[in-house]
Structure 1
Amino acid sequence: MTTVAVRERQQEQEQGEAGAPGEAPRSGRRARLSVPGRLSVPARLRWAVAGCAVLALLLGGLLAGTATGAQGAWARITGHEAPQVTDAGALYQSLTDLDAQAANQLMFGSDPRLASNLATAQQIYLKDRTDADRDLQQATLDASGNAPAQTALAAILDGMGRYQDLAARALELDTRANAPAGRPDPAALAEYRQATDLMRGQLLPAAHSLVGANDQAFEQSYTDEHGALGSAALWLTLLGGGLLAALVALQLWLALRFRRVVNPALAAASLLTVVLLSTAGSFLGGEQQDLVTARKDAYDSVVALTQARATVSDSNAAESRYVLDAGRRDQYQSDFETDTDQVLSLNGAELGAYDAALAQAVSAVRADPSAIRFGGEYGREFHNITFAGEGAAALKTLLAFQAYQVDDRKIRAMVAAGQLEQAIAYCTSLAPGGSNADFNAHDAALQALIGINEKAYESASTTGTHRADSALWLQLGCVAGVLVLIGAGAAPRLREYR
């Protein structure tokens, strides 16, 4: 037993034996325990150690809960919510292209010069129908527990079979009638009108709602987890700072009471706490940044561009319907304008003024990437350029979209001039400069741009998942080490009082 401990025990025994006035002296051990309002040195040391241990355990619980929460969030995002958005977007894309290919088949008719175009349209139509059925099945599996998604799916399921029946009858009637290109059989056209009205009035709005419902679920997970990480950072500061302050205070008290310059174990516990706070802070900051990268920087663009791709496909279908159906040309031109405005809006510019306004906007953004004078889905993307190569890919997509828009005006001019056969040939031409060639070039550029953002999303989500997995055991190991060191630092001092 040290000299300090002997002296303190003697003082406590003397106080206990003296007792209160008029009372008989008591034994040192019993008297020391009965002195009111005063804790012995060992008791104070035990309480201090217990306080530090409680803070360490609370900190460990916080970090364990945060790491497991991050693991769960990434599992939901990567395993369910992001794939659900992708599946819904794929369904939307299949539906828009399905109707476009149905219109193309009716537009080609029995013209032998367009036989290869007709065969291509038939193959794509069958593929789109297969893809739509598959995507619909997958979306149905994904929708469990998501009421808005289930409502949207019910509308799609209700209308999908009817659409396919109507489109099939239209194509069969037109084939039987041996109708020429651009002049479909009236009965076939009547059936197709019902089919395309069903597509645009029920199926596509429901598919758009499905994308939105799934995207909202993803956004909610992002918001919840980002907020949880922010709260954890605040509690980390409070608990970690409290633990570090308690350890330092305990060391100072021991140094003064026991005349020791430093307690090696408690000093090591303090150092390990600093390391723990540093690694935990880095973990929380890294997880927040990965979430922002995955959701805001990458997947917001994926959603916008996927919507744009489906909408451009629908505008291409509206263009084909415009050539095909003379009785509804005003309606189908209006549909094309609506789709175009959703993809890239220019302050409400109508079709006649759109090309000039688009040319000015393109020139401005080429001269200064921050001079974004358009809205719509492409406006969202250009305001969210983040990754290497994304700016160049976005500009390439914009230029391809501009070329496709110019082609559309040529088609409408041919139709207005009564050159129906030339309009059909140019509308479906895959030769360089042809409308379909430019449409495909735009689609390829758009898919490449989507791919850049999908790759960034996958990288951020993979990094975030791995960090959460490794952080859990690293941080718990540090907390366990702090607890062991606290005990090791206090044990020798407590033994001196035995």
Structure 2
Amino acid sequence: MTVIVLAAVALLASTSFLMSRVQDQVRVIGDDAAPQAATAADLYFALSDMDAQVARMVLSNGKDSLANSQTDALGTYRERSRQADADLQKLMASSVGVLDLMDGLATYRERVWQALTAGSGAAGYYTQATNVLHLDLLPEAERLRTLSEERLDRAYASKQTTQEWAVALAALLGLALVVLLVALQVWLGRRFRRMLNPALIAATLLTVALVGPAIAVLVVQEQRLGAARDDSLRPFLALSSARAVSYDAAADTSRYLISDKLAFYKQDFDRKAAFLDGDAGLRSVAAGSDVSPYDSNQVLTRWQAYREAHGRILALADQGRDASAIGYLTGIRRGDAVFDFSYYDAAVAEIADNRQDAFDDAMRETSQLLTGWTWIPAVALGLVILLVPFSVRKRFAEYR
């Protein structure tokens, strides 16, 4: 009897502790590690778009015919600037280097202000601003993004290890307790010629009713979280990364005009576009079991439309028709390059939002699945521990 009670206590302690540990690790993934990874990806995207909007503002600055484009770019720049500030605040507590990034962002904003107020010297100040972005801010943002994704992977690995231990111990100790309870039942039946002991039967059924569902819950939550990571979170992060690249590529179109047709920016656009058009680019990250072929094709089709617009803008600029190139680039009417890019980005944003929502739903379902499993073992095994001495008390009393 003592061995049975000790086995029940061991099963209770291990199951309660490891279930509680799994719950805590799921919370770390859902409330900390995954949001941090998404925030770091969003920061990279916000910084990329800030520079794209600054390029638009520099090109349209002082041109009455492009006042609407100037206003649109300024509004988007302010929105992305607030977005970057919010992301940095969220990353402050868990990431090293955020303060340096904030200092760099302040320097960038100063260069942007100088570019917008310098008149004929705008191109020089904008070059300084975009150099700060590409040499300091984006590399640091990419480092934060990499670190946050590595932290997320470690959180998943740690939870998987705990889950494996929990399943193994629940199966091993649960089986041992059931065997001991059955053995006691058989011994009492032979010793006292009573084949059935209701208390021991109840204790055995309680043990089976606890261990089976506990293992099932652990296995199901692992499957759900793994699917949420592989089918929603990782595709979301990959799509966010490609989206940022496309924004930076779009800014190269403006930079080409600002720099008076510097070949570097044409080559830089071609390099980024080659990635986006390649096997690891938009074709891959916009597709998946969660996306219809039509929606994923829309991303590619709309991106190709912007690429064609980019080609026409550069052709106009190379012909010396700078005013027409700038008007086509910065205009916000249907058929202008900004409209084409916004149309493409809307398709990307819809897929990204759906993936983030799917991951959040999976996290909520997993948390609900684990609810109560810190006290359920205590109730079930507490009854088992009480039933065991109760089952033998009457039999020993009869013996006396």
The answer to whether the superposition gives a TM-score over 0.5 is: yes
Deviates more, 1:81-90 or 1:230-239: 81-90
C-alpha contact 1:390 1:449 (8 A) present in aligned 2: no
C-alpha contact 1:240 1:273 (8 A) present in aligned 2: yes
2:72 match: 120
Candidates 321, 326, 335, aligned match of 2:268: 335
Alpha carbons of structure 1 residues 377 and 241: separation in structure 2 relative to 1, 3 Å: farther
Amino acid at match of 2:58: L
Deviates more, 1:280-289 or 1:488-497: 488-497
Report the CA distance between 1:497 and its aligned residue: 4.9
Deviations 1:176-197 (A, max 9, x none): xxxxxxxxx2x22111111111
CA distance in 1, matches of 2:165, 2:271: 43
Report the CA distance between 1:207 and its aligned residue: 0.9
Deviations 1:53-101 (A, max 9, x none): 1111111112111221122112222222222223223322221111111
Structure 2 gap segments, 5+ residues each? none
Report the CA distance between 1:167 and its aligned residue: 1.5
Deviations 1:319-350 (A, max 9, x none): 1111221252x2112322333344x352xxxx
C-alpha contact 2:286 2:299 (8 A) present in aligned 1: no
CA distance in 1, matches of 2:302, 2:182: 65
- Residue correspondences, number: 400
Report the CA distance between 1:311 and its aligned residue: 1.8
1:366 match: none
* Mapping for residues 121-140 of structure 1, pairs under 5 Å: 121-140=73-92
2:258 match: 324
2:353 match: 451
1:257 match: 191
> Is 1:158–2:103 an aligned residue pair?
yes
* Mapping for residues 300-315 of structure 1, pairs under 5 Å: 300-315=234-249
1:218 match: 152
2:384 match: 482
1:189 match: 123
Alpha carbons of structure 1 residues 273 and 377: separation in structure 2 relative to 1, 3 Å: farther
> Is 1:85–2:37 an aligned residue pair?
yes
Alpha carbons of structure 1 residues 477 and 116: separation in structure 2 relative to 1, 3 Å: same
CA distance in 2, matches of 1:195, 1:212: 24
C-alpha contact 2:303 2:344 (8 A) present in aligned 1: yes
Alpha carbons of structure 1 residues 332 and 311: separation in structure 2 relative to 1, 3 Å: same
Amino acid at match of 1:313: Y
> Is 1:375–2:280 an aligned residue pair?
yes
Alpha carbons of structure 1 residues 171 and 397: separation in structure 2 relative to 1, 3 Å: same
> Is 1:440–2:342 an aligned residue pair?
yes
CA distance in 2, matches of 1:70, 1:100: 43
CA distance in 2, matches of 1:86, 1:222: 15
* Mapping for residues 71-110 of structure 1, pairs under 5 Å: 71-110=23-62
Secondary structure of 1:471's counterpart equals coil
* Mapping for residues 4-19 of structure 1, pairs under 5 Å: none
Alpha carbons of structure 1 residues 72 and 381: separation in structure 2 relative to 1, 3 Å: farther
Deviations 1:128-164 (A, max 9, x none): 3333233323322x32xxxxx313x243123112111
- For the pair shown, the structure with the greater C-alpha radius of gyration is 1
Secondary structure of 1:433's counterpart equals coil
Relative contact order higher in (CA < 8 Å, ≥ 6 apart): 2
Report the CA distance between 1:390 and its aligned residue: 5.4
Report the CA distance between 1:284 and its aligned residue: 0.7
Alpha carbons of structure 1 residues 262 and 381: separation in structure 2 relative to 1, 3 Å: farther
1:491 match: 393
Secondary structure of 1:326's counterpart equals coil
Deviates more, 1:290-299 or 1:438-447: 290-299
Report the CA distance between 1:279 and its aligned residue: 0.8
CA distance in 2, matches of 1:72, 1:54: 27
Deviations 1:224-266 (A, max 9, x none): 1012112221222211111111111121122122211111111
Secondary structure of 1:54's counterpart equals helix
| Deviating 4+ runs (over 4 angstroms) | 389-392
CA distance in 2, matches of 1:420, 1:403: 21
RMSD: 2.0
TM-score w.r.t. the length of structure 2 is: 0.93
Amino acid at match of 2:267: S
Deviates more, 1:82-91 or 1:68-77: 82-91
C-alpha contact 1:226 1:291 (8 A) present in aligned 2: no
Q: Percent identity?
A: 29
CA distance in 2, matches of 1:391, 1:279: 39
